[in-house]
């Protein structure tokens, strides 16, 4: 759904699918020179693993923003300036309207 919302807002979008390894995300983002990443953490992960994953992504992603939609118990984990948590589709739409 988010992919279609991005396309509808005339944003370039590449859908990578589910369970994509960190290095694949980073190499694809580097190849297409992505400014923004949008991630959905839809299954229950160990909080330590999520922290490690987002921390590494924050360090290695050369773009400007990492948007994360996830369960409420993971929201607010600080991973640096690039990470922003999304609480709803409306919030994504608001961001798209200001890009």
Considering only CA atoms, give the Rg of the chain: 13
| Residue-wise pLDDT tens digits, 44-93 | 667 788 888 888 988 999 888 888 887 666 666 666 678 888 877 778 77
The torsion defined by the Cα of 70, 74, 79 and 84, in degrees rounded to 10, comes to 40
Closest CA to 13 of 96, 84, 73: 96
pTM (whole model) above 0.85: no
- Asked whether the beta carbons of 58 and 83 are under 8 A apart, the reply is yes
Read off the pLDDT band of 24 (50, 70, 90).
very high
CA distance 27 to 22: 9
Domain range for 56: 2-97
Read off the pLDDT band of 95 (50, 70, 90).
confident
Read off the pLDDT band of 28 (50, 70, 90).
very high
CA distance 66 to 56: 12
Report the domain count for the chain: 1
> Is residue 23 predicted with pLDDT exceeding 90?
yes
CA distance 92 to 19: 21
CATH number for the domain that contains residue 6: 3.40.50.280
């Amino acid at each position: 759904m988010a992919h279609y919302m991005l396309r509808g807002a005339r944003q370039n979008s590449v859908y990578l699918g589910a369970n994509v390894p960190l290095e694949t995300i980073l190499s694809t983002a580097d190849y297409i020179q992505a400014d923004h990443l949008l991630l959905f953490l839809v299954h229950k992960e160990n909080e330590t693993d999520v922290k490690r994953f987002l921390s590494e992504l924050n360090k290695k992603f050369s773009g400007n923003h990492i948007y994360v939609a996830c369960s409420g118990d993971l929201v607010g984990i600080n991973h640096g300036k690039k990470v922003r948590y999304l609480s709803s589709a409306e919030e994504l739409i608001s961001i798209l309207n200001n890009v």
